[in-house]
């Protein structure tokens, strides 16, 4: 993954690039670097660690120049030190890169045999050497790109700066995202439109395999085979106003509190607030004939898919499988004619999910994208798009995008159930009303975070934590465990409550907190038995339930959280909020960086 940026301006390039990189830091923060061109030469600054380290380097040694490239890294090839920090330079050429050049080892061997010497362990450096060689042999930078591009394999995006060419950047993308920004007498490029939002909203998205020549006067795009192509200019929907932290300590805290709004906006993308009527996006608009739904996703989005399966089966009566994108893409899955795949992704750029989408298409499925970024690659490669309207999400651990995905899926299940005649008009109305009430109930939960602070104190000190849930609460247990381990580094496992007796019960003793997600629904009595099994072995129970659940089981809990009463179908959306708060507050208590936890990145564009 990594975040990349390029600037051709009439203003100093370094501050513009640092500002854009701050909005790309969610893509990785192992190291950072900038290169600029001035007076015919290239100048470079790099630092290991987060952008703040590069800022210190720049303060001591500012970078001149109005053209430049910048990078924030999530390490793949080579440890996260200064030598491996981008930009990589060979002769006259500097490169910043996101993704992987898969044939880098063969290319490196060829270049070394021809006399090149390498400074880093990265796959990126081969691109700099290859371009430099072509230019040294008399090719123009454009000709060099046309010759080098067909020799590279893998999924990547990169931007090139050439010494002595201060009105030129070269940019290329294959699978990894890249957005070009147009200005007045200026041109920009970045991994996404959010990076460029404060400087321009005029965006040209490169298509898969494209490469481009940027000059201050304009941009020329070429397809993979070198023929010039037109790519449409669009106005990005992201404004600079949407990308601040407000008065919150972390983006994650802000994004948890954004949820009432994110859920309401998303709901109204599926269900008309005036009429209560749900609409189906293509390719699900022929709902009666949809043979099966296959959900493809990674990480938190996968857990949204696991929750959706319950709704799609019970409310819409449709066969549904949920697949981890990274596993599905290499399987010879047998899928029916007339099946629809739903690719679920906050970013719309996770490479595993994109590759799974392409695989599903090759297996004859139509594809619906459920994404939070309308211009994303997954949206553009799908037959239809259902947008979550969560707004930009910066915290690496996904929060509001998840509850927005749940909302969109439940709305979709209701619309499908109605269209297929699986539920009657009364049931549609009941479910729509239940959904309409969710933003208010989430806001109620967010009013008082005090109880979660006390629980977070225990979680932050635990070695292992178990999260249990059944039915619709099972994916929420998985999500709760993922949130905790991602941002506090405390080992946590989410388990189907009924499976606990088949293994994890061996972990339980008086030191293991067990978070039980148990609204008083059809699964409640069985979960209650599992809670008794935990208690019998001395485990510490943290029970999330409603009034009826508290009356039945509250006495057996070490910590009891009573949530508002809601219909069981919408409970997963509401019960997500406490598990997010507990993890976030535990991270604050431990002093880990909730927004940028170690080793992770938000948008994972490597396989
Ligand atoms: C990364 C992030 C997770 C996210 C997952 C899928 O691993 O750290 O928070 O859930 O990618 O991302 P997507 O953008 O496809 O939903």
What is the full DSSP assignment across 538-574?
TPEEEEEE-HHHHHHHGGG-SEEEEPPP--GGGHHHH
Q: Which of 408, 427, 446 is the last residue of a domain?
A: 446
Judge if the upstream peptide bond of residue 87 is cis by omega within 30 degrees of 0: yes
Atom 5 of ligand 1, residue of closest alpha carbon: 299
pLDDT tens-digit readout, 292-313: 999 999 999 999 999 999 999 9
Alpha-carbon distances of 196 from 280, 281, 316, rounded to whole Å:
33, 30, 41
Q: Which residues contact 555 (CB under 8 A, 6 or more apart)?
A: none
| Shared-domain flag, residues 569 and 454 | yes
Residue 431, pLDDT score: 95
Q: Rounded to whole angstroms, how far apart are CA atoms 330 and 607?
A: 12
| Shared-domain flag, residues 435 and 537 | no
Atom 15 of ligand 1, residue of closest alpha carbon: 345
Tokens describing residue 357:
């989408």
Report phi then psi at 354, rounded to 5.
Answer: -60, -45
Of 138-147, 185-194, 504-513, the range with the lowest mean pLDDT is 504-513
Total domains, the chain: 3
* 320: annotated active-site residue: no
Q: Which residues contact 477 (CB under 8 A, 6 or more apart)?
A: 467, 468, 469, 494, 495, 496, 497, 515, 517
| Shared-domain flag, residues 37 and 66 | yes
Spacing, Cα 247 to ligand 1 middle (Å): 25
The three-class DSSP label of residue 106 is helix
| Shared-domain flag, residues 335 and 442 | yes
Query: Any alpha helices (H) in 420-515, and if so which ranges?
Result: 425-447, 450-461, 474-488
Q: Rounded to whole angstroms, how far apart are CA atoms 33 and 48?
A: 9
Among the listed residues 400, 483, 485, 602, the single catalytic one is 602
Spacing, Cα 580 to ligand 1 middle (Å): 15
Among the listed residues 2, 320, 400, 483, the single catalytic one is 2
Ligand 1 pocket member 359 (CB < 6 A):
no
| Shared-domain flag, residues 441 and 512 | no
Q: What is the CA radius of gyration of the chain?
A: 25
Q: Which helix (H) or strand (E) holds 220?
A: strand 218-222
Q: Which atom of ligand 1 is nearest to the CA of 397?
A: 9
Q: Rounded to whole angstroms, how far apart are CA atoms 413 and 90?
A: 54
Number of residues written out for the chain:
607
Provide the 8-state DSSP code for 65. Answer: -
- CB-CB neighbours of 111 under 10 Å: 20
Which burial class, exposed, middle or buried, applies to 573 when counting CB atoms under 10 A from its CB (0-12, 13-18, 19+)? buried
pLDDT band for position 394 (cuts 50, 70, 90) = confident
| Shared-domain flag, residues 490 and 387 | no
Residue 186, pLDDT score: 97
Please check the confidence at residue 257 and state whether its pLDDT lies above 70.
yes
- CB-CB neighbours of 605 under 10 Å: 27
pLDDT tens-digit readout, 520-552: 998 988 888 888 888 888 889 999 999 999 999
Residue 242, pLDDT score: 67
Residue 1, pLDDT score: 66
| Shared-domain flag, residues 472 and 357 | no
Closest CA to 300 of 308, 288, 292: 308
Residue 80, pLDDT score: 87
Q: Rounded to whole angstroms, how far apart are CA atoms 42 and 39?
A: 8
pLDDT band for position 606 (cuts 50, 70, 90) = low
Q: Which of 223, 242, 261 is the last residue of a domain?
A: 242
| Shared-domain flag, residues 260 and 208 | no
Q: Is the pTM of this model over 0.85?
A: no
Assign residue 543 a region (left: φ > 0; alpha: ψ between -120 and 50; beta: otherwise). Answer: beta
| Shared-domain flag, residues 442 and 459 | no
Tokens describing residue 375:
């211009």
| Shared-domain flag, residues 296 and 193 | no
Report phi then psi at 334, rounded to 5.
Answer: -100, 115
Full domain range(s) for residue 199: 3-242
| Shared-domain flag, residues 390 and 468 | no
Stretch 363-384: mean pLDDT: 93
Spacing, Cα 603 to ligand 1 middle (Å): 6
Across the chain, mean pLDDT equals 93
Spacing, Cα 144 to ligand 1 middle (Å): 35
What CATH number is attached to the domain comprising 65? 3.60.20.10
| Shared-domain flag, residues 287 and 426 | yes
Stretch 325-353: mean pLDDT: 94
Alpha-carbon distances of 8 from 199, 232, 275, rounded to whole Å:
12, 20, 49
Q: Rounded to whole angstroms, how far apart are CA atoms 371 and 37?
A: 38
Q: Which of 188, 208, 242 is the last residue of a domain?
A: 242
What CATH number is attached to the domain comprising 522? 3.40.50.10490
Of 20-29, 552-561, 587-596, the range with the lowest mean pLDDT is 20-29
Ligand 1 pocket member 398 (CB < 6 A):
yes
């Amino acid at each position: 993954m990594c975040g990349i940026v390029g600037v051709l301006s009439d203003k100093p390039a370094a501050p513009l690039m640092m500002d854009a990189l701050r909005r790309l830091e969610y893509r990785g923060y192992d190291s950072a670097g900038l290169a600029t061109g001035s007076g015919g030469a290239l100048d470079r600054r790099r630092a290991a660690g987060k952008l703040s380290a590069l800022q210190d380097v720049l303060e001591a040694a500012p970078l001149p120049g109005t053209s430049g490239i910048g990078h924030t890294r999530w390490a793949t090839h080579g440890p996260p030190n200064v030598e491996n920090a981008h930009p990589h330079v060979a002769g006259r050429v500097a490169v910043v890169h996101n993704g992987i050049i898969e044939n880098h080892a063969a290319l490196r061997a060829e270049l070394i045999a021809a006399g090149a010497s390498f400074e880093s362990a990265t796959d990126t450096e081969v691109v700099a050497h290859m371009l430099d060689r072509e230019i040294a042999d008399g090719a123009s930078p454009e000709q060099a790109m046309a010759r080098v591009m067909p020799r590279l394999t893998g999924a990547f995006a990169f931007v090139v700066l050439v010494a002595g060419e201060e009105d030129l950047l070269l940019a290329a993308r294959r699978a990894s995202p890249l957005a070009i920004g147009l200005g007045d007498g200026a041109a920009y490029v970045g991994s996404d439109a959010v990076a460029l939002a404060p400087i321009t909203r005029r965006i040209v998205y490169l298509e898969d395999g494209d490469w481009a020549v940027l000059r201050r006067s304009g941009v020329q795009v070429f397809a993979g085979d070198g023929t010039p192509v037109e790519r449409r200019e669009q106005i990005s929907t992201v404004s600079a106003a949407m990308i601040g932290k407000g008065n919150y300590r972390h983006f994650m805290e802000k994004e948890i509190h954004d949820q009432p709004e994110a859920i309401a906006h998303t709901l109204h993308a599926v269900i008309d607030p005036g009429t209560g009527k749900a609409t189906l996006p293509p390719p699900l608009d022929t709902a009666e004939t949809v043979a099966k739904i296959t959900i493809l996703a990674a990480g938190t989005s996968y857990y949204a898919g696991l929750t959706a399966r319950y709704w799609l089966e019970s409310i819409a009566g449709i066969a549904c499988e949920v697949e981890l994108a990274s596993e599905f893409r290499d399987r010879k899955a047998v899928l029916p004619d007339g099946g629809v795949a739903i690719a679920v992704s906050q970013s719309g750029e996770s490479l595993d999910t994109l590759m799974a989408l392409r695989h599903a298409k090759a297996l004859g499925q139509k594809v619906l994208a459920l994404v939070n970024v309308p211009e994303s690659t997954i949206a553009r490669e799908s037959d239809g798009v259902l947008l979550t309207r969560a707004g930009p999400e910066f915290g690496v651990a996904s929060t509001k995008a998840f509850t927005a995905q749940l909302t969109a899926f439940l709305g979709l299940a209701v619309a499908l159930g109605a269209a297929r005649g699986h539920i009657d008009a009364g049931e549609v109305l009941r479910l729509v009303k239940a959904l309409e009430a969710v933003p208010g109930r989430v806001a109620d939960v967010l009013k008082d975070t005090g109880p979660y602070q006390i629980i977070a104190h225990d979680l932050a000190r635990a070695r292992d934590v178990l999260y249990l849930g059944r039915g619709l609460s099972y994916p929420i247990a998985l999500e709760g465990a993922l949130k905790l381990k991602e941002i506090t580094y405390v080992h946590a496992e989410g388990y189907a409550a009924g499976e606990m007796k088949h293994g994890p019960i061996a972990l339980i003793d008086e030191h293991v907190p067990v978070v039980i997600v148990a609204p008083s629904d059809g699964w409640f009595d069985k979960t209650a038995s599992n809670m008794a099994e935990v208690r019998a072995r001395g485990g510490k129970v943290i029970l999330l339930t409603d009034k009826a659940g508290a009356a039945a089981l509250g006495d057996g809990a070490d910590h009891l959280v009573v949530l508002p009463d809601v219909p069981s179908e919408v409970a997963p959306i509401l019960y997500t909020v406490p598990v997010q708060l507990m993890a976030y507050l535990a991270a604050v208590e431990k002093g880990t960086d909730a927004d940028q936890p170690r080793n992770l990145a938000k948008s994972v564009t490597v396989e």
